Structure 1
Amino acid sequence: MSRALAVADAAAVAPQVRPPSRRHAVNDLDLHNWKQYDEILTDSLWIFPERDSSGAHKADYHGNFVPQIPRQVMMRYTKKGDAILDPFAGSGTTLIEAQRLGRHALGVELQPAVAELARSRVGQEPNVDRATIKVINEDCRSARTRIWALNFLKDLGRTHFQAAILHPPYHDIIKFSDNPDDLSNAGTVDQFLTMFDEVLDLTVSLLEPGRYLTLVIGDKYDGGEWIPLGFYTMQRAAAKGMTIKSVIVKNMAGSRAKRNVENLWRYRALYGGFYVFRHEYVIVLKKN
């Protein structure tokens, strides 16, 4: 028997040793079984025909985003038991998804009634993994919010959050309140960006190095000009020591503001020389 045949025969009967599991440091995915993760999107175009309305999720709060966004982000960039910061909690969409996935989360909401709504909806969702979910009624730029956040982390035995998901107002497209601390009441785009900078200062300082911040935002059209809020805010975030990892375009089909006035918006677009908004951005950045 030749040496080559002997080696081949030995290889045929040798036990197959599975290499160590390839797991990311920031998620629970086993890349040896990557084909099993059909639910996780990896393309930069996200099309959701309709929002997830299961469980405690509802679409009645004007301006809330679809639950599929925070779900995708958490599956990709967090592990079970991680802590997530949501500076713009709204009616609790991110918090509900965090509880479903066994992630702890702190939500910050400026409006007292909306903060209570978020608490109520989180309470309606089963908490199988006993995740700690807290909603505070504060300005997400304030020193009080930092104290709340540090105490929240301390109770979990942590010093930083492992992810941050931000869904700020798209400047003044929707007026959420009369509170001057509300970013939707910023008088100009520059003032909006200055206020958003302050949100980033607090959020990034509380984020663990090497972990991810996700920004969900759309642009606006004002005074005959397209205002690229997505790019402006992305640049502000990158300037805080963040690396831009992905810019995802997500469809906005069925926007409540345009749902019943399609022909009017089509006429306005033809007359004004612009295109009707059908997308928003999901921008992923990594803290250096």
Structure 2
Amino acid sequence: MSISNFKKDKKIRSLAPKDFKEETTTVWSFKQRGDWATHSGVYRGNWSPYIPRNVILKYSKPGEIVLDYFCGAGTTAVEAKLLGRKCIALDINDKAIELAKKNLDFNLNGLFDQIYEPELLIGDARDLSFIKDNSIDLICAHPPYANIIHYTDHKEGDLSFYDIDGFLNEMTKVAKESYRVLKPGRQCAILIGDLRRHKHIVPLGFKLINIYLNAGFRLKELVIKRQHNCKTTGFWYKNSIKYNFLLLAHEYLPIFEKPKELLSSKEDYTSYDKNVSLSIETCNCRKTLKEMETTTVWILPKKEYINFLNKNIIKRYATGKKYKIVNLSFSSYKNFKWEKVEKEDLSLLLIYSSIFENFDISKDDIKNYLSKGVELIDMLTPFLNKTGHVVIKLKDLRIDSYIIPVAKLFVDSISNDFLKLKEIIIITKDEEIKDFHKDNQEKDLKINHEYLLVYEKVK
């Protein structure tokens, strides 16, 4: 990406965002990108400075070392300097490093007794051999997405030119190096989004989470970053309805932690023999839906959450008159048979899971749910018509202070040749977005998002 046309930003008016409060929930939503200090959105694809500011404040202390191996225009490095942290920032693009140096050319005017100027380097995230083992306090980085925006003139090793499989293979090397240089017990935050190919979702975020987990990390938090640049009126609204697709409006910010002790083995969530029960529920959709949701983030009224959720799902995905709502809960499992429903007769199968309302849910319960949930979908797929959809409502869980990414695990477990992942939708309640931006001393973020996994019958 050329920086020849970039000019130095306007005179610095402030060194911090106005009325800033640290995020306390798992949905981060910044209506303004942030323009304090030298921050701007001129460099395509750079992330909002609110993200590294929150991560740095929560997971590091003044004087500690922050590493960003996808430096770009230097957003993380600027925040590290503003917050009194040391920083090592590198990028394979020499022109990006030039721009980052310009963005870091400002004075802190006695804000700290000790000022730490970030160390900017031209380098490759896959080779951090110049950094010692167990020496970094925090990693905070935003990689280029697979073959979306190109940042160099096809420089060798530029990950922005790799397509999905190649990108993930190279990120495997980045994850291994991240694990090596990070101190035990410390965190690594990576922002990543999903892609759409051939009208279906490629769960790039979940795939990248797997890579870092396979490298030895544990998942400390899974934050949803909401996008605010998705227009949902006029042209986009009409086409979202006409062609039945949602505008991608979310990214993932998984925050990994390097265990203080080596993990004995990787946990397997793919099968577990325990019983669950199934029940058919009805939908109360008395009121008409004035406007449908058209992005992958649905912020619904708290008072009528399920009602609005059902109406949006049914109106968009129940292409025929017949649909079923099924609830999975724990108790004795019985062979389940549809009554008065023929094969290839349903337009929608909506699966809720009351098991996630239990506060004492265990890892064994999750294994149980995944096994029986996949079994249920395989069993009921033949009842879907040729344009039918399966929608599964799920939520992440926290067990022993770590996140169990249930939606990701479910996607990993599905291997049904007749279904293809169409959408990953994030759902949350409007009042929870507003109410939990308060000062608190909680170490963990409040999980206030759920998922809808939307599968489409393709055979």
Decide: shared fold, TM above 0.5.
yes
Q: Does 1:182 align with 2:167?
A: no
The reply on whether 1:240 has 2:200 as its aligned counterpart is: no
**1:282 paired to 2:260:** no
| Cα distance between partner residues in 2 of 1:268 and 1:229 | 24
Structure 2 partner of 1:76: 58
Letter in 2 for 1:122: L
* Match 1:134 to one of 119, 130, 133: 119
Aligned partner of residue 123 in structure 1, secondary structure: coil
The CA distance in 2 between the partners of 1:269 and 1:182, in whole Å, is 34
User: Residue 159 and residue 227 in structure 1: after superposition, are their counterparts in 2 closer, same or farther (change >3 A)?
Assistant: closer
Cα pair 2:134 2:180 within 8 Å, conserved: no
Deviates more, 1:191-200 or 1:37-46: 37-46
Cα distance in 2, alignment partners of residues 94 and 125 from structure 1: 17
- How far is 1:159 from its partner? 5.3
State the alpha-carbon separation in 2 of the partners of residues 199 and 71 from structure 1: 23
TM, length-normalised to structure 2: 0.49
Q: Out of 69, 94, 115, which is 1:112 matched to?
A: 94
| 1:16 corresponding residue in structure 2 | none
1:1-288 equivalences under 5 Å are: 39-126=21-108, 128=112, 129-142=114-127, 145-147=128-130, 149-150=131-132, 160-177=135-152, 178-186=154-162, 188-254=163-229, 263-288=234-259
User: In the aligned structure 2, how far is the partner of 1:165 from the partner of 1:71?
Assistant: 10
Q: Deviations over 1:127-158 (max 9, x none)?
A: 7431141110112213xx421x34xxxxxxx9
Distance 2:254 2:236 in 1: 27
Give the TM-score of the pair, scaled to structure 1. Answer: 0.77
Change (3 A) 1:74 1:223: same
The residue type equivalent to 1:133 in the other structure is P
Deviations 1:169-197 (A, max 9, x none): 121221222123111111x3111100111
Question: What is the aligned-residue RMSD (CA, Å)?
Answer: 2.1
Q: 1:15-60 CA deviation, whole Å, 9 max, x = no partner?
A: xxxxxxxxxxxxxxxxxxxxxx982211011111101101111110
8 Å Cα contact 1:173/1:220 also seen in 2: no
Give the paired residue count: 237
Letter in 1 for 2:247: V
Q: Please identify the structure whose Cα radius of gyration is greater.
A: 2
- 2:134·2:184 contact (CA, 8 Å) conserved in 1? no
Distance 2:243 2:24 in 1: 36
Q: Label 1:235 to 1:57 Cα distance change in 2 as closer, same or farther (>3 A).
A: same
Work out whether residues 251 and 280 of structure 1, in 8 Å CA contact, stay in contact via their aligned partners in 2: yes
Per-residue deviation, 1:264: 4.4
- Tell me, in whole angstroms, the C-alpha distance in 1 between the residues paired with 2:151 and 2:247: 23
Q: Residues 243 and 263 (structure 1 numbering): CA distance in 2 closer, same or farther, change over 3 Å?
A: same
Equivalent residue letter for 2:126: R
Q: Which amino acid aligns with 2:41?
A: A
Q: Give, in whole Å, the separation in 2 of the partners of 1:89 and 1:73.
A: 16
Moved more, 132-141 or 99-108: 132-141
For 1:173 and 1:221, the matched residues in 2 are separated by 11
Q: Deviations over 1:215-241 (max 9, x none)?
A: 111111112221111111011111111
CA shift at 1:266, angstroms? 3.6
Residue 131 to residue 266, structure 1, CA distance change in 2 (3 Å):
same
Q: Distance in 2 between matches of 1:182 and 1:263?
A: 37
Deviation at 1:125, TM superposition (A): 4.9
Task: Judge conservation of contact 1:56–1:125 (CA < 8 Å) in 2.
Answer: no
- How far apart in 1 are the matches of 2:122 and 2:78? 17
